[in-house]
Amino acid sequence: MEYSRLVSVYEALEATTSKLEKTEIVAEFLREVPEELLEIIPSLLIGKVFPEWSDLELGVGPGLLYEAVSFVCGIPVAEVKRQVARAGDVGQAVEQMLAKKVQLTLFSRKLLVREVYEAFKKIALATGSGSQDRKIRTLADLLASASPREGKYLVRTVLGELRVGVAEGLLRDAIARAFNVSVSAVERAYMIANDFGVVARTAKRDGESGLAEIKMQVGRPIRPMLAQLAPSIEKVFEELGRAALEIKYDGARVQIHKRGDEVRIFSRRLENVTSALPDIAGRAARAIKAEEAIVEGEAVAIDPETRRPRAFQDILRRFRRKYNVEEMVREIPFETYLFDILYLEGEVMIDLPFEKRRGALKKIVEEERGKFELAEQLITGDVRQAHEFYSRALARGHEGMMIKNLRAPYIPGARVGYMYKVKPVMETLDLVITGAIWGTGKRAGWLSSYILAARDEDTGELLEVGRVGTGVTEEQLAEFTERLKPLIEFEEAGVVRLKPSLVVEVAYQEIQRSPNYASGFALRFPRVVRIRDDKSPEEADTVQRVRQLYEMQRQVR
């Protein structure tokens, strides 16, 4: 299949705002996609190259991209940046620049979808000495073969900003329509496979019965189920009656996969972090008495003297460490608390009630006290006992308490009313930094004010909810500037536009309705709490969640 065919779909999607029209456009296209390309195309339709569980990532920021464009178009990088700033969109600017370059039509050829994918894969696999030059050359070769309209979407894909208004929900509906299967069957298959390519190919080849046969795979992570903020302990118990209480540990979520003696550990954002956590992997291999299992828990950095949790940034230092890992293990020891099981000896467990899953987990884990154990739990219907449990959790330095529905299944990637979190502070938001403003005076030379965006659940678009410049120390300003500068796409009048990559946790006084921001909401007196390196932009809070918190805020009043 020629890449230009996919580009024509992008153009049709970008030309309409109707969700129904977009769904039909995608469904019609999927019907014509050859089966061997169906594992590639769905990700490309939502602006991704590889599924989330894959270890592959392009690793190309605006800097490398502009060097490739400069080489292909024969203009200085500075001029590339000027044209991007003038257009206000990298894709449109590259389309214009490619249209102006001298065309050697004698050697022109048609780009194929498979060829584009293999080039992206080659870029992702380029590591070590000289890897940046190899990435630039491969990208330049791709752009040199591309038509201007193809170049527009190639660079948007590279930067993760496709902008055609297709998110996972719409793609799910389109797959169902394309292959005449139910939306629920597609949704469940995606929960388990965590790969729309596998789901689409199975739906086309084997229909609904094939989707039902998709199994979890040890070594392929699935998205974690998310908790809702509890309006109050009393209201949750009115809804659930008897429930399971667990400590909300102040750590980082981990998903542990075990097959035989082999253990793999995945972070909340589905990255393989096994090499950074050899202590947890070793304990899991000894403690989990099963041939095959996928379990979930929290890794907590504990101060050995006070027995209280250490700062979240210490946890991220462990997760990010690639060298001298053993030294870091000694410096920042971890304790692991397991609280759920998703797969056991060939059986998918997510449809079982939580009470049964917890029972199965208990049977296969040989606890190592203070190192690797089950999350502390109390099952009760007594609100007084719940308040006491909550107070004990806070006194030990943890974030709060979880309240879990004993009868509930596990819904990967969803924030559903099956478990609630109780915290002593107002619910924060995890938002993407999409722009920044250069500071003046004492803050000159630093990117000191940040434009924040939430994700639109339907379109995948990042919509602004405000700006923040407080809650950041000088040391943090330097860190933020260092992290954000490589993400700069263009700059105009001191305001920079950034490749969406960095997620931050933001506290605020309240949420207000606002016509000034695309989301329709604004945060009043926001402040940065911390960088969330454990979250990707796809895991940032949604506009729908902002709206939900706004409504809850009004009810409290």
- DSSP letter string, 121-182: HHHHH--STTHHHHHHHHHHHHHHHS-HHHHHHHHHHHHT---S---HHHHHHHHHHHTT--
Domain boundaries, the chain: 48-159, 226-422, 429-556
Is the four-CA dihedral 33, 35, 37, 41 of positive or negative sign? positive
Q: Minimal CA–CA distance to 276: which of 309, 324, 220?
A: 324
Closest CA to 72 of 141, 149, 158: 141
**3-state class (DSSP) for residue 539:** helix
Q: What share of the chain is helix, strand, coil (3-state, %, to 5)?
A: 45, 25, 30
Q: How far apart are the first and last CA of the chain?
A: 57
Q: Is 248 a catalytic residue?
A: yes
pLDDT (tens digit per residue) in 540-552: 999 999 998 888 7
Q: What is the pLDDT of residues 241-283, one digit of tens each?
A: 999 999 999 889 999 999 999 999 999 889 999 999 999 999 9
pLDDT score, position 253: 93
Which residues of the chain carry a pLDDT beneath 70? Answer: 102-108, 471, 554-557
Residue 416: exposed, middle, or buried by beta-carbon count in 10 A (0-12, 13-18, 19+)? middle
Which residue out of 48, 81, 152, 248 is catalytically annotated? 248
Just give the CATH number of 48-159: 1.10.3260.10
3-state secondary structure of 88: coil
Could you give the count of Cα atoms lying within 13 Å of 19 in the half-sphere of its Cβ?
12
Please classify residue 366 by burial: count the beta carbons closer than 10 Å to its beta carbon, then call 0-12 exposed, 13-18 middle and 19+ buried. exposed
- DSSP, res 47: T
**C-alpha to C-alpha distances, 17 to 22, 171, 176, nearest whole angstrom:** 8, 15, 20
Phi, then psi, of 65 in degrees rounded to 5: -60, -45
What length does the chain have?
557
In the prediction, which pLDDT does 104 show?
46
CA pair distance 522, 424, nearest whole angstrom: 23
CB atoms within 10 A of CB 208: 17
272 forms beta bridges with 266
DSSP 398: -
pTM for the model:
0.86
Residues 455 and 542: beta-carbon distance below 8 Å: yes
Tokens of 309: 């949790």
Q: How many CA atoms, within 13 angstroms, populate the side-chain half-sphere of residue 126?
A: 20
Q: Contact, 289 vs 364, CB < 8 A?
A: yes
Distances (CA, A) of 447 to 78, 163, 437, 480: 20, 26, 6, 7
- The amino acid occupying position 12 is A
- CATH class of the structural domain 429-556: mainly beta
Q: Label residue 357 exposed, middle or buried (CB < 10 Å: 0-12, 13-18, 19+).
A: buried
CATH class of 226-422: alpha beta
Question: What H or E segment, with its residue span, contains residue 237?
Answer: helix 233-240
